[in-house]
Amino acid sequence: MTTTTDTDRVLIFDTTLRDGEQSPGATMTHDEKLEIAGLLDEMGVDIIEAGFPIASEGDFKAVSEIAANARNAVICGLSRANLGDIDRCWEAVRNAKQPRIHTFIGTSPQHRAIPNLTRDEMADLIHQTVTHARNLCDNVQWSPMDATRTEWDYLARVVEIAIKAGATTINIPDTVGYTAPVESADLIRRLIAEVPGAADVVFSTHCHNDLGMATANSLAAVAGGARQIECTINGLGERAGNTALEEVVMALKVRHDIMPWQTGIDTSRIMNISRRVSTVSGFPVQFNKAVVGKNAFAHESGIHQDGMLKSADTFEIMRPEDIGLAGTSLPLGKHSGRAALRDKLRQLGYDVGDNQLRDIFVRFKELADRKKEVFDDDIVALMRAGEDPANDRLQVVSMKVVCGTGGPAESTVEMEIDGEDLSATAHGDGPVDATFKAIRKLFPNNAHLELYQVHAVTEGTDAQATVSVRLGEDGMIATGQSANTDTVVASARAYVNALNRLLVRREKTGPGSDMREISYKDVN
């Protein structure tokens, strides 16, 4: 593992599977967590925060399996400041080649009020819990949650206590995205300069994006002396999200002239894992998202296009290839064969087996019959469509929709529910409303539609539409996605996908909502 003597090396601590998954609606299945962890390990992430083992049996199992399978990365689990949490965390990560316990407590006045502890009582608890963690594991990270709103004298005091108790990494979280870059740098710099023992540990930064400054604050912290950045793929996370891994990594790479630090990330893998996290979390990447957004390398202005034709570096500070995008986007068509499709999938970061290739080739041919040209984003959408679990309880079999200006829309939906074919017809204010009502007839539920979003995968009237649906029920939230050249079909499948995810959430929390009682399958 990199040590504090490597002053030009910045460790990348990815918390997509922990803090990222806490984003409402972003829950991942067991297999999806293992897959994302494997991709993070392959791309060179130094530390993977695999989850919060005490939170649930499912989280414990996922962290344990990720720890057992990791090849290179340190595997970290999160625990609150109590001995039971720490023991459970250690049990989950202990089989990793490089395990880490990450324990935390909120130290700001706002957070100290929650457990109703005095300063001295909290200081004693920090000493006790960090000492206990260090007795179990020689790699211990400690975080004073909401550090940027903690009084300086108390923050310095508890950081010193944690260091003396054996913490090897001190993480300084901007939990609510409150700080600014100049403050972020100064805080790290001052802690390193004034706290006894600070020179012997790694300082880390964990920034949230509530004011849109997470990346700037993280890079400023590095300038102040931090040598670990906590981040997530696509900036996924609670509220406005976390520091985006792709942004800090590419910033350090592109502006190495003024930020002379390096990471161990293979940046050519960024685009593939960005797409995969978007798929499994159900959170689309905004078109103008830095580095990985659809428009990040798009140029429409005549002046920009003219400059690009003459020399790419006139308007591009990064090459698409640097993050794993193909240099060209030549479309496929209905006459393209399996070899061309496999080659295109490899360019897009998908290494598929023969059986999977046969499956996607069938769907590719069906799409090519409806579209003249099939572009890269169409292929990615096809892959996402094929990644939906085959054992979902609810599946759309067929649909017939009638709509127009003469009256309310009518939708007839046939579904397979627990292996039984059922059909229902409903009317509504438009084809999507009628379709959703038909689905609710077939599978009664009280889930509230919190988000319905449509965007075209490519251009043209024959473009595939990607639909995102977010449902909430009794405090549980689930997001579903689907793509199809027929927007109503994509909408129905996305809605059903979200329902299936809600069922998984209900299985973990137990009965108690008004959704129809069912015998759950173990889809984790």
pLDDT higher at 488 or 331: 488
Higher pLDDT, 250 or 321: 250
Q: Which residue among 360, 386, 412 closes a domain?
A: 386
- What order do you get walking across the sheet with 394-402 strand by strand? 394-402, 409-417, 420-428
Q: Among all chains, which residue has been given the structure tokens 């759950």?
A: 520
| One domain, residues 405 and 330 | no
Domain-embedded: residue 517: no
Q: Are residues 338 and 478 in the same domain?
A: no
Indicate the helix (H) or strand (E) that contains 83.
helix 83-93
The backbone torsions φ and ψ at residue 56, rounded to the nearest 5 degrees and listed phi first, read -165, 165
Band of the pLDDT at 4, cuts 50, 70, 90?
very low
Residue 308 domain-assigned (yes or no): yes
What confidence tens digit (pLDDT) does each residue in 338-355 have? 888 888 888 777 778 888
Residue among 486, 449, 485 at smallest CA distance from 469: 449
What is the mean predicted confidence (pLDDT) over 432-454?
94
* Same domain membership, residue 369 and residue 261: no
Gap between the terminal Cα atoms of the chain:
32
Residue-averaged pLDDT of the chain: 87
- The answer to whether residues 473 and 377 belong to one domain is no
More confident site: 254 or 464: 254
Tell me what pLDDT residue 124 has: 98
Per-residue pLDDT of 48-103, as tens digits, reads 999 999 998 989 999 999 999 999 999 999 999 999 999 999 999 999 999 999 99
Q: Structure pTM?
A: 0.80
- 338 is a domain residue: yes
> Domain boundary residue among 254, 281, 308?
281
Task: Please check whether residues 404 and 378 belong to one and the same domain.
Answer: no
pLDDT above 60: residue 459: yes
Task: Please indicate if the annotation marks 6 as binding a ligand.
Answer: no
Segment holding 203, helix H or strand E? strand 202-207
Last residue of a domain, one of 334, 364, 386: 386
359 among annotated binding-site residues: no
| Residue of 146, 142, 173 whose CA lies nearest to 159 | 142
pLDDT of 508: 60
- Residue 209 confidence (pLDDT) above 80: yes
Q: Is 358's pLDDT higher than 80?
A: yes
Q: With a cut of 80, say whether residue 17 has pLDDT above it.
A: yes
pLDDT attached to residue 340: 84
* Percent of the chain topping pLDDT 90: 60
Q: Please, are residues 474 and 461 in contact by the beta-carbon 8 Å criterion?
A: no
Question: Average pLDDT in the 477-501 region?
Answer: 89
Q: What is the DSSP string of 317-354?
A: SS-GGGGT--S--PPB-TT--HHHHHHHHHHTT----H
- Residue 3 in any domain: the answer is no
**pLDDT for residue 376 is more than 80:** no
261-288 pLDDT per residue, tens: 999 999 999 999 998 898 888 788 888 9
Region of 196 please: left (phi>0), alpha (psi -120 to 50) or beta: beta
Taking 80 as the threshold, does the pLDDT of residue 173 lie above it?
yes
Greatest mean pLDDT among 13-27, 199-213, 467-481 lies in 199-213
Q: Evaluate whether residue 339 is within a structural domain.
A: yes
Whether 163 maps to a domain, the answer reads: yes
Per-residue pLDDT, 6: 63
Whether residue 7 lies inside any domain: the answer is: no
Q: Which of 85, 43, 42, 47 is nearest to 67 (CA)?
A: 47
Q: Is 90 exceeded by the pLDDT of residue 289?
A: yes
CATH number of the domain within which 80 lies: 3.20.20.70
Q: Do residues 103 and 213 both lie within one domain?
A: yes
Residue 31 assigned ligand-binding role:
no
The pLDDT tens digits of the residues spanning 491-521 come to 999 999 889 888 877 766 554 333 333 222 2
Residue range(s) defining the domain that contains residue 266? 13-281
Q: At residue 1, does pLDDT exceed 60?
A: no
304-330 tens-digit pLDDT? 334 434 455 565 788 888 998 865 556
Same domain? For 207 and 345 the reply is no
Same domain, 146 and 223: yes
Q: What is the pLDDT of residue 130?
A: 98
508 exposed, middle or buried (CB, 10 Å; 0-12, 13-18, 19+)? Answer: middle
Instruction: Please tell me the predicted confidence (pLDDT) of residue 2.
Output: 40
Does 358 lie in the same domain as 499?
A: no
Q: Which of 213, 221, 215 is nearest to 186 (CA)?
A: 221
- For residue 484, the model assigns a pLDDT of 87
Q: What is 222-268 written as a DSSP string?
A: HHHT--EEEEBGGG--STT-B-BHHHHHHHHHHTTTTS--B----GG
Same domain, 196 and 243: yes
In a domain, 520, yes or no: no
CATH number at residue 413: 3.30.160.270
**Higher per-residue confidence, 139 vs 392:** 139
Q: Do 380 and 420 have their domain in common?
A: no
Q: How many residues does the chain have?
A: 524
**Residue 19, annotated ligand binder?**
yes
Provide the number of structural domains found in the chain.
4
Residues 367 and 478 in one domain: no
